[in-house]
Amino acid sequence: MDSEGKFRYIAFDAVEIDLVSRRVTVAGVETALEPKAFDVLALLARTPDKAFTRDEILDAVWGHRHITPSVLNRVILLIRHALGDSARGLHTLRGIGYRFGGEVRFFAQHEKTGAIVHVAGDALSADAPAQNTAEPPGVPASPAQAAASTAPVESRSRRAGDRATPRRSAHAALVLLPLLAVLVFAGWKLWSRTQPGVVADTAPMSVKGQSIAVLPLVNAGGEADQQFFSDAISENLITTLSQFEGLKVIGRGSSFRFRDGKEDSKTIGAKLGVTHLVEGSVQRADDNVRIGIQLVRTIDGSTVWTQRFDRPYHDLFALQDEIALAVAGALQVRLLHAMPGAVETGRPASGNLEAYNAYLRGTYYMTGGKEVAKAIERFAEATRIDPDYAQAWSWLGFMRTQYARGDRDADAARASYAQARNEIDTALRLEPNFGQAHAIRANLLGSADHDWNGALAEFRIALSLAPDNDPSHGAVSRLLATLGRVNEAIIERRKYIEGDPLAGFAHIYLAQLLASLGRLEEAETSLRDATKLDPDPGARDWLASERSYLAVLRGDAVIARTEAESMAPGRWRERTLTLALQIGNDRAAADAALQHLTDTDGQAKNDAYATARVHALRGDADKTFEWLQRDRERGDSGVHHALFDPLLLRFRDDPRFAEYCRKANLPPPSASEALGIDRIRAANIAKR
């Protein structure tokens, strides 16, 4: 019997539910259901024909605990796909909840004999009598056998005849073979059997080491104003596939580099380090959506699986889940926990497609900082359409924070920060477990308040809720570096690179961290990696500046100056060259460059920090802290770098440095893991 002492098994159609071992079999084959999906199925099947409201199910299974109805939607979807045709008794009661109908049988296990016996009457009654309580011949070991033993003679005879027929037995085996593949992940074969144009590779795949990149799906309609939609389908697929166990999924940044590329599958696979690619097209016409997807093996470019999906636009959310489940089924991987709910995938819990459309346009404008004002406008529109749209509120707050950071008017910046704080708080009130909202709050706490510890705590929450390829690893790396915790920062930066391997800028940040620990050879390697990945002219100047800086740390005046002079004319080149000249033999040129930087300091607020660094390299502590104070008055650009800046850390023991850190809410400089330039140079000389 079950934990309440009433029964152990529930059976209907081809399904058997073992309430003790928490196992579900379909047509005699065990299928995996994540724990909450099992609990929901058992709850509904225990009381057939009873209508359960969504709140009743959430209370019974999750204790509610801030779980949104969208999570229940995903669980019901998993159950339906796991049970296949046997799920036809699971009914959605629109506006209410769910009901399980149909013939349901209950079985108990005989306490003495272990036989499985059918329970008659009201199965939920503690006094329900059990049929066949004496041990029958050939003790039934399963509900299926027990049901057969109590079936009418004619029915039992017919079933026995079916089992004795070799042709039918062979046919049953053929039917079960694809089910074995299906049950690695629930229900995929059911879809592909009903969809046109399905091609499946029957060669076995190894789950271990599976990796995938979702290339941006082609906007088949060609309309420029629909590009956001095909990008959104691609990103949703990345987000959802990131929830599957044993599957490495490359993040958007690197995958989307191949939007217009000419590389073949093998080349892309080698660059991204993946075994499979998802390719395809999206076309939205009026109220219909057509999506074609194919799974490609990168080692030889062969197509593993392909499928076309034609659905009404109003079924978009279900379609997105269906595609992800189909791809995962083709790869033979399984969910870590459950399908990501609306909060992770950007969908409004209300299911409002108009709000979702505005949200998607906001994310399109947000990506790469295309148009901050338009992104803010679209996210705000989404919140007006659906005031309970947590994701729209959070990204609205994020973009408002970015806008405030670039505002030179201090009063206007404070007002924008305050507005962003309200928007982010609204998001977390609506969805306390939304990981990205915690990361966005962390960004605000660092930018507006210099509450570094509070920001770190928020990032920790965010990462506990996020997949491995989440870009928050990069953000927390920068925060850890700000706190002088460089070794942890390197670990998080490498995690970011693992999910976005073609991000050249991430390798530059990694080089900065390695250099601060005196690991100059590794830093150079990281810069070489960045050079291969990002040929953009802007990146070229950044790389030249970083190579010049590494030469400064080594004391190589020739390379430092050569790299600086290779940069395009402008303030960045002036700052880099001024620093490089300080370690050369031309003192007049070094002094003149510093004077020019000082005279024109007002043109760019971050030149105060750059000037402080030049004075630090010259060994002038008084001027260093004078200019650091000016930087604090003009926006604190240096506060994010001071505790892993080897030039400043040569004055680690100066009380003025400790005071500077105290005012910026930073740990004392003595706590930083980074090294000062003098120690780095000494270690470099010792290696020669």
In a domain, 238, yes or no: yes
Tell me, yes or no, whether 146 and 217 share the same domain: no
| 102 HSE (CA, 13 A, CB side) | 18
Tell me, yes or no, whether 127 and 208 share the same domain: no
Give 490's contacts (C-beta < 8 A, 6+ positions apart): 477, 510, 513, 514
Q: What does pTM read for this prediction?
A: 0.68
pLDDT mean over 347-353: 88
In a domain, 206, yes or no: yes
Beta-strand ranges (E) seen in 247-302 are 247-249, 276-285, 288-297
In a domain, 257, yes or no: yes
Whole-number pLDDT of residue 369 = 57
Among the candidates 290, 311, 339, a domain finishes at: 339
pLDDT mean over 75-97: 75
Residue pair 576/610 in contact (Cβ under 8 Å)? The answer is no
**Rounded CA gap, 420 and 401, in Å?**
6
Highest mean pLDDT among 278-292, 300-314, 551-565: 551-565
Tell me, yes or no, whether 200 and 257 share the same domain: yes
Percent above pLDDT 90 for the chain: 39
**Chain-centre distance for alpha carbon 541:** 31
Among the candidates 322, 339, 356, a domain finishes at: 339
**Which two three-digit tokens encode residue 102?**
């149909």
**Rounded CA gap, 157 and 366, in Å?**
68
Tell me, yes or no, whether 142 and 200 share the same domain: no
pLDDT mean over 312-339: 79
- 687 confidence band (pLDDT: 50, 70, 90): confident
Domain residue limits at 71: 9-150
Here the CATH number for the domain that contains residue 273 is 3.40.50.10070
In a domain, 178, yes or no: no
Whole-number pLDDT of residue 303 = 87
**Long-range CB contact pairs, 650-657, < 8 A, 24+:** 650/616, 650/619, 650/676, 650/677, 650/678, 651/616, 651/621, 651/624, 651/625, 651/676, 652/676, 654/621, 654/625, 656/621, 656/625, 657/625
Whole-number pLDDT of residue 178 = 36
Residue pair 517/497 in contact (Cβ under 8 Å)? The answer is no
Whole-number pLDDT of residue 402 = 86
Tell me, yes or no, whether 198 and 333 share the same domain: yes
Here the CATH number for the domain that contains residue 39 is 1.10.10.10
In a domain, 665, yes or no: no
Least confident of 67-76, 157-166, 301-310: 157-166
**Chain-centre distance for alpha carbon 457:** 19
DSSP per-residue letters across 4-69: TSS-SEEEETTEEEETTTTEEEETTEEE---HHHHHHHHHHHHSTT-EEEHHHHHHHHH--TT--H
User: Mean pLDDT for the chain?
Assistant: 80
Whole-number pLDDT of residue 606 = 56
Among the candidates 286, 318, 339, a domain finishes at: 339
pLDDT at 171 over 80: no
Least confident of 199-213, 281-295, 544-558, 603-617: 199-213
Percent above pLDDT 70 for the chain: 78
pLDDT at 385 over 80: yes
**Rounded CA gap, 256 and 623, in Å?**
46
Tell me, yes or no, whether 199 and 137 share the same domain: no
Whole-number pLDDT of residue 219 = 85
**Which two three-digit tokens encode residue 10?**
């529930």
Highest mean pLDDT among 23-27, 300-304, 456-460: 456-460
Tell me, yes or no, whether 308 and 231 share the same domain: yes
pLDDT at 374 over 70: yes
Please count the structural domains in the chain. 2
pLDDT in tens, 208-267: 468 999 999 888 877 777 888 888 889 888 988 887 877 889 998 899 988 876 788 889
In a domain, 585, yes or no: no
